[in-house]
Amino acid sequence: MKDDIENLLDGLPVELVQRLIDRYEKASLAYCYNNWSNLFSESGCFSEIVFRLTQWHCFGKYTEIGERLEDFNIDALRKFESTSKQKAPDEWRIIIPRVLFAMRQFRNARGDMHETLISPNFIDSEYIYSSMEWLLCEILRLKSGKSREEINLVIKKIEAHYAPMVWDSGTTMRVLSTKLSCRDQVLVLLYSCQEAQTVEELLRETEYVSKSRFRSTILGELHKQRLIEYDGEKCKISPLGIIEAEKIIKNWMEKNGKE
């Protein structure tokens, strides 16, 4: 999909287009990993690139990469809005800046940039990731000189929302793939949780039938391979386990995500 987007955005500053796609792809990975903190971080970089594209359309120039970007505040919004309609349509002058402003304020209120009482979770990440998708699609609609059919094909791919591999029902964590082995489910669950889990929790989440076999064959082998640390009661994923879990999730994305 990267080549498709680059092709449609031919004519925009190349460095901004490449960085825009790179940050979107990294955010997509974080979304699938249930890594909400990384998603919020990538969304911040993504929004700064869109902010520069908005500058380019409204003012004919943008803040160079590496230079300090002006604050996303009401004054910045007014600067964009004061641009002549003949120079930039309302989407660039009003709508896109306000989406960026909302993303920025929401991100700051969820403990990513500043310490707060609220940490980002699934529903917060849905809002941020959907906003990123909308911005990318809107830029494609506004700037691509290609046919409507070509644009819509790429937008359809973006609309095909990635599914997180792990779902939190509110009472338990569940791996959405029914084809993963119990061993792989344990790794993905521990990776997504980012903290130690008890044997009882993992048994409930994987629905493995034999507790004794689960302890010896599944957890015991993962411990021997140094993919997890298992002390008989609790399990925690190791750095090697993190690498293995990310491979499993990437494979899931290739089979179940966007083309």
The pair of structure tokens assigned to 139 is 């830029």
pLDDT in tens, 64-99: 999 998 888 888 888 999 998 888 889 999 999 999
What pTM value is reported for the model? 0.71
pLDDT digits (tens, 9 = 90+) for 187-200: 999 988 778 999 99
Q: For a pLDDT cut of 90, what percent of the chain falls above it?
A: 49
Task: Map out the domains of the chain as residue ranges.
Answer: 2-159, 166-256
Say if CB 21 and CB 5 are below 8 A apart. yes
Q: Which residue has the higher pLDDT, 171 or 24?
A: 24
Sequence-ordered alpha helix ranges (H) in the chain: 2-8, 14-32, 36-59, 74-81, 90, 96-108, 122-143, 148-159, 182-193, 199-206, 211-213, 220-224, 239-256
Q: How confident is the model at residue 9 (pLDDT cuts 50, 70, 90)?
A: confident
- For position 138, what pLDDT does the model report? 94
pLDDT in tens, 11-47: 889 999 999 999 998 898 888 777 788 888 899 999 9
Backbone φ and ψ for 149, nearest 5 degrees, come out as: -65, -45
**Which of the four pLDDT bands, split at 50, 70 and 90, describes residue 114?**
very low
Average pLDDT taken over every residue of the chain: 86
Kindly list the distances between the CA atom of residue 192 and the CA atoms of 87, 131, 158, in Å, as whole numbers in the listed order: 46, 23, 24
Classify domain 166-256 at the CATH topology level. Answer: Arc Repressor Mutant, subunit A (1.10.10)
Do residues 126 and 80 lie in contact, with contact meaning Cβ atoms separated by under 8 Å?
no
